[in-house]
Amino acid sequence: MSLVLTAYRYATMALAPVVPFALARRARLGKEDSQRIRERLGYAGVTRPAGQLLWIHGASVGECLSVLPLVDQLLLTATDRTVLVTSGTVTAAKLMGERLPHGALHQYAPVDTPPAIRRFLDHWRPDAALFVDSEIWPNIISSAHSRRIPLALVNGRMSQRSFRGWKRMRRTASSLLGRYDLCLAQDAKSAERLTALGAKRIEISGNLKADAPPLAADAPKLDELRGVIGERPVLLAVSTHAGEEETILPAHDRLRRLFPDLLTIIAPRHPIRGHEIAMLCGERSVARRSKGEVPYKETEVYVADTLGELGIFYRLSPFAFVGGSLVLHGGQNPLEPARLERAVLAGPHTQNFTAAYEAILAVQGFGRVLSSTDLATVAERLLVNPGEAMRLGKAAAEAAHSLGGAVERTRIAIEALLSDARA
């Protein structure tokens, strides 16, 4: 073990006594579930079922939703198998409680301290542990490895930015990644970076999010919004990050000169930014979803500052600008609008979903925007010609479908890992 990991282990052990107080404070702020806070300390909320148990950990909503089809497939292939899904956020826990199939359980992930991890592993005794996307927790990985629990990174992603950071701690990265028995990378770039950092057995499985079902929509809520909006043209910007509204709002102003009844809907990646976005709108008439408001005729900008409703908003426009792409974040998931046959617009920074953006924008023939002028120009083209927007949306859906297959490839690899462990 590297000196950094040794120091980390001793530091987290020393801090373990104060963790309950930190969690209690987070619970008061609404960032932890006060009724289930003991799970974060490694105390199980339910009894371990008999038989084989596979543990899948995803940090938050996106990672947990991406593994739902995989959970279904893993449960179908073994009758005595339970899948335990852990996450760290209240929102993810709520969604998993609603969407996990029979035979799957949800628990909050233990904090990465030695005592919490020990209690968690003593109780659950997983037959394999699968970590989603880019989850690398030193104590969890080291403790599971020391118990000879097969470890896999699934839907593995290593961005250029993360790669640069880990390269500065190459020995630590190698020590951690070398403990994985299998790394299933989303794409060739991630596979290359994981290999350079010391991962051993690597396969390219594709992106699990490409196999996710289309986002659902609450029908009564959708009908209500459709009734209020009527025939108004809509400019939809989803999953936006700080710094992007300063490009979207001038595009809105330019489009309003051509479409006086235009409604711009902005769904921020983090709903807590709703107030901030409303302030940025200045004298423009604003309504906020989180306040129960709807976009009446006089509303220019509707701030959709809620969680779990993107499926509704995608259905209100034939195209969508996907945020996180005008800033250095790297772009949010373009497969969500594409699967709903919505044309995709995005900024220049899309490295989080390189393959998906390249495939979708290639079949569309355009959609990359660099400025408010670009966004207004492309949006005008699609608003003037709804037929073209629908055609491009269908092309985007076909591109998204072509990227599928990751769930089955991942399932096969995990079954082989389990078989190797039993041999």
Residues 205, 409 contacting (CB under 8 angstroms): yes
Q: Name the β-bridge partners of 105.
A: 84
DSSP character string of 306-360: -SS-HHHHHTT-SEEEESSSSSTT----THHHHHTT-EEEE-S--GGGHHHHHHH
User: How far is residue 25's CA from residue 162's CA, in Å, rounded to a whole number?
Assistant: 30
For residues 312 and 329, give the distance between their C-alpha atoms in angstroms, rounded to a whole number: 25
Angle, helix 138-146 to helix 170-177, in steps of 10 degrees: 40
74: helix, strand or coil: helix
Is 298 labeled as catalytic in the residue annotation?
no
CA distance 351 to 330: 5
Q: Could you give the dihedral angle defined by the CA atoms of residues 247, 249, 255 and 257, in that order, rounded to the nearest 10 degrees?
A: -130
Q: In terms of Cα–Cα distance, which of 150, 141, 155, 162 is closest to 184?
A: 155
Nearest to 26 by CA among 45, 44, 41: 41
333 contact partners, CB below 8 Å, separation of at least 6 = 62, 209, 239, 322, 353, 356
Measured in residues, the chain has a length of 423
Contacting residues for 161 by C-beta, under 8 A, at least 6 apart: 328, 330
Sequence-distant (≥ 6) Cβ neighbours of residue 151 within 8 angstroms? 128, 129, 131, 141, 144, 145, 179, 180, 181, 182
Cα separation of 86 and 260, whole Å?
Answer: 48
Query: How far apart are alpha carbons 239 and 229 in whole angstroms?
Result: 21
**DSSP-H helix ranges across 218-266:** 219-229, 245-258
Given 63, 244, 309, 336, which residue is catalytic? 63
Pairing state of beta strands 263-268 and 319-322? unpaired
Catalytic residues: 63
